[in-house]
């Protein structure tokens, strides 16, 4: 447990809530979940499942209909054929990441990942006795390390490379050819490629993409109903694994989760219905507008945005012109300006002290208010 750090964002959130309880108004730009409620057709399907008494366990790999529906979504949206046997429904992407890393990593083995990246990955690797090796991301490569760097860091103990697109905290997306190069490199080196696509669908500059379009049967892909589908609290996600891994993944799922929540799985069946997808598209457009507003405002404040935050709902901004201590700056912004943001140290050690993550998971008026407060705070010469 000594190797498993808490999320700084959780202490920021707790402090923000305490300030609110004391009467302060706080603009929330720290939270990594959509402010929109779960779309109505999904809620209705969950309610109908409850009313019909669907409260027993499902198979460990998930409801057969949902596995089929997920495979159907890859076919209809991405033109990619995925056999439902390769789909495992999990308690969120978190469950998928635990299953994949639990099956892949032996004690003492290494997993390569970019810095910055989603912090839980390194802790899950640690949980299974492995070692996460962080590689500096290349801005031009969507903050992923380039394949040469991956190859140079590869050792006999390396088991896998983990990437995410769109990524947290940067919002960066990997181009299909970059993904293909990473896939070729990991195959050549005899390892596995794990691609986290949890923010898929929340892309603003290009159509959504899946690593499965590489045409390979030999990839691990993680996804979730949490973000694009607005179902964070329902705890339901999925993974696509190479066919040969289905048996062991199912065995591990039986042992550590039994199954993902049943009502949530029935609710998720409605997520791919045209009326749900239409709601998500409206929300995607709202996120795109918020992104434009926040990006412009942050640049006007003197923050430097490296790379293109083309997806997810985050902007990772270099605040080193204002402070070389992003944790201290985040604390000051909260206490003195009433704006909650996440310091970069949550996501990596390399340059975390220079960066802040801004989440546009709040409406445009609140973003404008947050920007105005930060402007006053910086002008006052904090
Ligand atoms: C990159 C990434 N992967 C996985 C997760 C876990 O999401 P969930 O378990 O809600 O599906 C998150 C949550 O923020 C994330 O940002």
**pLDDT, tens only, 116-175:** 999 999 999 999 999 999 998 887 777 889 999 999 999 999 999 999 999 999 999 999
Residue among 188, 214, 184 at smallest CA distance from 197: 214
> Hunting for tokens 């860091």 — which residue is that?
153
93 CA distance to ligand 1 middle (Å)? 6
Q: Which part of the chain is CATH 3.90.1150.10?
A: 8-38+276-379
What is the pTM (predicted TM-score) of this model? 0.96
* Predicted local distance difference test score (pLDDT) of residue 11: 87
Q: Is the pLDDT of residue 382 over 60?
A: no
- Reading the block at residue 320, the tokens are 């080193």
9 CA distance to ligand 1 middle (Å)? 14
Atom of ligand 1 nearest to the CA of 164: 1
* Predicted local distance difference test score (pLDDT) of residue 216: 78
40-272 CATH choice from 3.40.640.10, 3.40.50.2000, 3.30.450.20, 2.60.120.10:
3.40.640.10
Atom of ligand 1 nearest to the CA of 312: 16
User: Is domain 8-38+276-379 classified as CATH 3.90.1150.10?
Assistant: yes
| Most ligand 1 atoms within 8 A of CB, residue of 224, 239, 264, 314 to mutate | 224
Which backbone phi and psi does 298 adopt, to 5 degrees?
Answer: -65, -40
Helix (H) or strand (E) holding 316: strand 314-318
Q: Which part of the chain is CATH 3.40.640.10?
A: 40-272
User: 263-319: per-residue pLDDT in tens?
Assistant: 999 999 999 999 999 999 999 999 999 999 999 999 999 999 988 999 999 999 999
Cα–Cα distance, 254 to 172 (Å, whole number): 34
């Amino acid at each position: 447990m000594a190797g498993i750090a808490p999320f700084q964002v959780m202490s920021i959130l707790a402090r923000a809530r305490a300030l609110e309880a004391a009467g302060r108004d706080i603009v929330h730009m720290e939270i990594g979940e959509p402010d929109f409620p779960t779309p109505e057709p999904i809620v209705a399907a969950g309610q109908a499942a409850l009313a019909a008494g669907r409260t027993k366990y499902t198979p460990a790999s998930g409801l057969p209909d949902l596995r089929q529906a997920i495979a159907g979504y890859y076919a209809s949206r991405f033109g990619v054929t995925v056999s439902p046997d390769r789909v495992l429904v999990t308690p969120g992407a978190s469950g998928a990441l635990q299953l994949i890393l639990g099956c892949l990593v032996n004690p003492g083995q290494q997993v390569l990942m970019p810095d910055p990246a989603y912090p839980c990955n390194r802790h899950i690797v640690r949980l299974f006795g492995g070692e996460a090796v962080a590689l500096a991301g290349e801005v031009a490569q969507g903050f992923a390390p380039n394949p040469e760097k991956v190859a140079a860091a590869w050792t006999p103990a390396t088991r896998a490379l983990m990437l995410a697109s769109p990524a947290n905290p940067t919002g960066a997306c990997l181009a299909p050819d970059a993904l293909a190069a990473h896939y070729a490199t990991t195959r050549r080196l005899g390892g596995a490629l794990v691609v986290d696509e949890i923010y898929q669908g929340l892309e603003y500059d290009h159509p959504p993409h899946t690593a499965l379009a590489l045409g390979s049967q030999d990839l691990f892909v993680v996804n979730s109903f949490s973000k694009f589908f607005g179902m964070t609290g329902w705890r339901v996600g999925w993974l696509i694994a190479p066919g040969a891994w289905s048996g062991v993944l199912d065995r591990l799922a039986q042992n550590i989760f039994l199954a993902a929540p049943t009502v949530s799985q029935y609710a998720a069946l409605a997520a791919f219905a045209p009326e749900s997808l239409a709601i998500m598209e409206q929300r995607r457009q709202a996120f795109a507008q918020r992104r434009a507003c926040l990006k412009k405002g942050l640049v006007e404040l003197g923050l430097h945005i490296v790379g293109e935050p083309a997806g997810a709902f985050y902007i990772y901004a270099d605040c080193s012109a204002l402070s070389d201590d992003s944790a201290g700056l985040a604390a000051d912004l909260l206490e003195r300006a009433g704006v909650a943001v996440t310091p970069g140290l949550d996501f990596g050690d390399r340059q975390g002290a220079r960066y802040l993550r801004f989440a546009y998971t709040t409406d445009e008026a609140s973003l404008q208010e947050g920007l105005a407060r930060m402007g006053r705070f910086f002008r006052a010469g904090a």
